[in-house]
Amino acid sequence: MQAGRKFLVGAALIVGAVGYLIAAGVRETGVYFLTPTELVTKSTADTTLYDLGLKVGAKVVPGSIRRDATQRQVDFRISDGTREIPVTYTGLVPDTFTDANDIEVIVEGRYGRDGLFRATEVLAKCGSRYEAAAEEARKA
Amino acid sequence: MTFLGQFALWAALLLGCWGAVIGFSGRWRSRPDLALTVTRSVHAVLLALAVASIALWKGLLAHDFNIQYVWAYTSRNLPTPYVVAAFWAGQKGSLLFWAAVLALFASLAQFLTSRRHAPLLPYVAAVTQSVVVFFVGVMLFSGENPFGRLDFTPPDGRGLNPQLQNVGMVIHPPMLYLGYISITIPFAFAIAALLARRLDTGWLHAIRKWTLVSWLFLSIGITLGMWWAYVELGWGGYWGWDPVENASLLPWLTMTAFLHSVMIQEKRGMLKRWNLGLIVGTFLLSIFGTFITRSGVIASVHSFTQSSVGYFFLGFLVVCGAAAFTLLYTRWSALAADVQLESMLSREAAFLFNNLILVGIAFSVLWGTLFPILSELVQGDKITVGPPFFNRVNIPLGLLLLALTGIGPLIAWRKASRANLRRQFTAPLSAGLLTALALIAAGMRNWYALVALAIAGFVAGTITQEFWRGTRARGRMHGEAWPVAFGRLVARNRRRYGGYLVHAGILIYFVAFTGMAFKRERAATLTPGQSIELASPYGHTYRFTHLGVSQYKDLNRFVTAATVRVERDGAPLGVMTSEKRQHFTIQGTEEVSSFEPSTEVAIRSDLREDLFIVFTGVIGGTEEADYRFTINPLVWWVWFGGVVLVAGGLVTMWPGGAPLGAPRRAQAGYGVSLVGVGDER
């Protein structure tokens, strides 16, 4: 019985530590994941969202990519159908990031009061394009 | 062929339903003939799904682009091994692969299980058939039929995604699937034991090999996945805490917990409910992993596209979970522990903490993976957590777990005495301390890394001491030379020493992971002849000189290759080439680009560090190239740790060893007499 009780104390400590690590981890590393519409409406209502690290998931507006090859800077626009946000990014973009239609991207960075999103990371997803192509082929 | 495949799927569905319904009804208890039809239905389903698989392979190899799946994942210029592997490249094919392999495992389980467990087998069949029926049902009723045809026949297929055109991708998914799928067998035995109320350790013995098999496949699958991510995705690391990676880690964690806690049940008759819970949980996590991969509910670089299949999986997950835990609840009182924990200083207690931490890690990984969904449900805002979260939570927990790897084997069962502790811990603790001192003397000041490596030194001390004492005792007792004594020691106690080898593998992984704390990285744009320098964490200086860019056509792709000359402290190491590839398919006489361009990284690996060069782009029309140079320390040891781990796993499950029907102590793998390691008694 004695050992059992001691074990329960140890177990409570471990469970508590796991709980604390998770809670603190979420508090300190969690970032908002928003759509452009949400970002625009929320940041107007709550100005603390400006210049806060967050993620935005949207589609690249076809034909909007402008590359500045020498400085490795990329400017483009993202949209969820209702709102468009200009994005600027300095760094290497993934292979899947192209101007083709409906490329889904997740950009991570800060949204400035000037309405420009300064991305520190750009992730591109390409999956949906292939299925869309499948639909087209079926129709053809 | 598709007609035959289609027919085989329906046959499998009906046969499976028959087996599941009769199996669960329990009517076979008084009707041996019914029991026989249930177990035979398992073999019949295997036959049906084998036919379906052959039909799909025939379609793939015959380039029958009228079949939608063949068109979607292959092309005429795709090398044949990848055409064969395209079977599991897409959603529909992998569903069939899953069902067929499960049928194979189910059949083997019926065939290989000892007659002693015969009363469980029809229930086992009922569970495995239900899962097969679910997978076949998804194929037939949710529009995921691999035999679906197009209205016309395209001249060529779209080809396989270039990132999947890699040896790792040919073996990695099936290995992972084999792990996921084989978990169904222990789960089926657990449910069968509950249904039949045969809750002694019998069912545990029946599934011992199966749990090891699935654990081993999961380990191989995860390691190959890391390797694939490292050489193919080109972001410079091997583990990114992506939801799909996490999904593969989750069942591995709970299965690892089970492999340990099951020893306590065999040896001491404790933890019966916990073990059943772990097996059920592991099975649910394997289905959850598939759900995450398939549904697109969580954005991931690896995921298949969004489809309704996710809802089928979610439904199945809920039904299985509810049924299994209800069943467990109704048998609750029959599952009381035989004895109570006697002391905190006992191996039981060390194992219990090991279990808690493993489940704690699993919980945190699950929580972090699901957090975007949970936060949106509760708060209305989607909040994501990334690698910083997982590292923050799991590095401390992982180190604690690693320490337990060193502590567990040193503590006696039931209650350790002070003398026992002193005798066992002196050498390993000294080893840990010496490691720390040596590293500080060598100039290492990263405290996280120092703690990790000191613990690693301690664990290495434990493992060495165990092998050393066992060998010495055996050598003295039987008058054998050291190598003979060592070989026989391992051969006679496979579960124990195989287990230590697995611990050694885990230890090597941790040391290799620690190396990533010393990663060096630099991006640069270079004109031919221009060079940059990068200092390695060992104090060397690497010099990278851009030689030039060349373009040519290969097999099914256009290649742009950038070449770099590498020198270490002025001494030439040779040239490294990283490529950009643009794959194409041939339509008529025209070559049409398919897929996005992909990157082949250049990797130069040695025991201390990897040079990892990514050619990220060429500046329009010139030979000026963008590069990212990375020095990744100790990466080679990740793959080596994987090899050691797998070797240990194989030793553990190698047939033979303790004879069948040996006393319970011997089966638990611990009481095997070892004079000189008397603490075992």
- Residues A107, A118, single domain; the answer is yes
Exposed/middle/buried for residue B32 (C-beta within 10 Å: 0-12, 13-18, 19+): exposed
User: Amino acid identity, residue B152?
Assistant: F
Q: What is the pLDDT of residue B677?
A: 36
- Mutate which of B303, B383, B587 to test chain A, going by most A C-beta atoms within 10 A? B383
Summarize pLDDT for B623-654 with one digit per residue, the tens.
888 899 999 999 999 999 999 999 999 999 88
A136 C-beta neighbours (distance < 10 Å), count: 9
For residue B134, is it within any domain?
Answer: yes
Summarize pLDDT for A21-49 with one digit per residue, the tens.
999 998 888 888 888 888 888 888 888 88
Exposed/middle/buried for residue B140 (C-beta within 10 Å: 0-12, 13-18, 19+): middle
Q: Is pLDDT of A128 > 60?
A: no
- Residues B626, B532, single domain; the answer is yes
Phi first, then psi: what are they for B664, rounded to 5°?
-55, -40
Q: What is the pLDDT of residue A38?
A: 87
* Residues of B in Cβ contact (< 8 Å) with A6: 344
- Residues A37, A100, single domain; the answer is yes
* Residues of B in Cβ contact (< 8 Å) with A7: 341, 344, 349, 352
Q: Which domain holds residue B46?
A: 1-160
Q: Is pLDDT of A137 > 50?
A: no
Higher pLDDT residue, A101 or B513? B513
Mean pLDDT for chain A overall = 80
Q: Is pLDDT of B675 > 80?
A: no
Q: What is the pLDDT of residue B201?
A: 84
d(CA B669, CA B399): 26
- Residues A133, A119, single domain; the answer is yes
- Residues A1, A48, single domain; the answer is no
* Residues of B in Cβ contact (< 8 Å) with A57: 299
**Could you identify the residue written with the tokens 């469980």?**
B120
Kind and range of the H or E run holding B561:
strand B557-568
- Residues B2, B137, single domain; the answer is yes
Nearest chain A residue (CA) to B620: A69
Alpha-carbon separation of residue B547 from B528, B530, B540, B575, B605 (angstroms): 5, 8, 22, 9, 21
How far the first Cα of chain A sits from its last, in Å, is 74
Summarize pLDDT for B86-139 with one digit per residue, the tens.
998 888 898 999 999 999 999 999 999 888 888 899 999 999 999 999 999 999
B158 CB near a chain A CB, below 8 Å?
Answer: yes
DSSP E strand boundaries for chain A = 31-34, 53-60, 66-68, 73-79, 84-90, 104-111, 117-125
Q: Is pLDDT of B681 > 50?
A: no
- Residues B147, B72, single domain; the answer is yes
Q: What is the pLDDT of residue B657?
A: 55
How far the first Cα of chain B sits from its last, in Å, is 63
Q: What is the pLDDT of residue B20?
A: 95
Q: Is pLDDT of B337 > 90?
A: no
Most confident of A121-125, B159-163, B498-502, B598-602: B498-502
Confidence of residue B666 (pLDDT cuts 50, 70, 90): very low
The helix/strand/coil state of B656 is coil
Q: What is the pLDDT of residue B329?
A: 94
d(CA B35, CA B18): 12
B599 φ/ψ sector (left φ>0, alpha ψ -120 to 50, else beta): beta
Q: How far is B656 from chain A (nearest CA, A)?
A: 37
Contact A21 B388 (CB under 8 A): no
Can you read off the two tokens belonging to residue A136? 């087209």
Interface of B with A in 163-222 (CB under 8 A): none
* Residues of A in Cβ contact (< 8 Å) with B360: 14-15, 17-18
- Residues A12, A52, single domain; the answer is no
d(CA B174, CA B572): 41
The helix/strand/coil state of A138 is helix
- Residues A15, A36, single domain; the answer is no
- Residues B69, B144, single domain; the answer is yes
Nearest chain B residue (CA) to A123: B301
- Residues A12, A24, single domain; the answer is yes
**Could you identify the residue written with the tokens 């690290």?**
A53
Q: Which of B282-296, B415-429, B567-581 has the lowest mean pLDDT?
A: B282-296
Q: Is pLDDT of A99 > 80?
A: no
- Residues A76, A48, single domain; the answer is yes
User: Amino acid identity, residue B250?
Assistant: L
Contact A128 B306 (CB under 8 A): yes
Residue range A9-28: average pLDDT? 91
Q: Which of A91-105, B58-72, B81-95, B402-416 has the lowest mean pLDDT?
A: A91-105
Q: What is the pLDDT of residue B212?
A: 93
CB pairs under 8 A between A and B: 134
pTM, entire model: 0.89
- Residues B502, B526, single domain; the answer is no
For residue B623, give every residue at least 6 positions away whose Cβ sits within 8 Å of its Cβ, in sequence order, or none: B527, B528, B548, B549
Q: What letters, b where the CB count within 10 A reaches 16 and e where it falls short, cover A81-116?
A: eeeebebbbeebbbbbbbeeeebbbbbbbebeeeee
For residue B142, is it within any domain?
Answer: yes
Contact B392 A25 (CB under 8 A): yes
Q: Which of A23-27, A101-105, B208-212, B613-617 has the lowest mean pLDDT?
A: A101-105
- Residues B562, B646, single domain; the answer is no
CA B239 to chain centre: 13
* Helix B167-182 and helix B272-295, axial crossing angle in degrees, nearest 10: 140
Residue range B296-302: average pLDDT? 55
Q: What is the pLDDT of residue B162?
A: 78
Summarize pLDDT for B229-248 with one digit per residue, the tens.
898 877 788 998 988 889 99
Contact A128 B371 (CB under 8 A): no
In total, how many domains does chain B have?
3
B349 CB near a chain A CB, below 8 Å?
Answer: yes
Q: Which domain holds residue A41?
A: 31-139
Residue range A91-120: average pLDDT? 81
Q: How far is B543 from chain A (nearest CA, A)?
A: 22
B353 CB near a chain A CB, below 8 Å?
Answer: yes
Which one of B111, B143, B160 terminates a domain?
Answer: B160
Phi first, then psi: what are they for B466, rounded to 5°?
-60, -45
Q: What is the pLDDT of residue A70?
A: 62
Mean pLDDT for chain B overall = 88
- Mutate which of B305, B557, B585 to test chain A, going by most A C-beta atoms within 10 A? B305
Which one of B160, B175, B207 terminates a domain?
Answer: B160
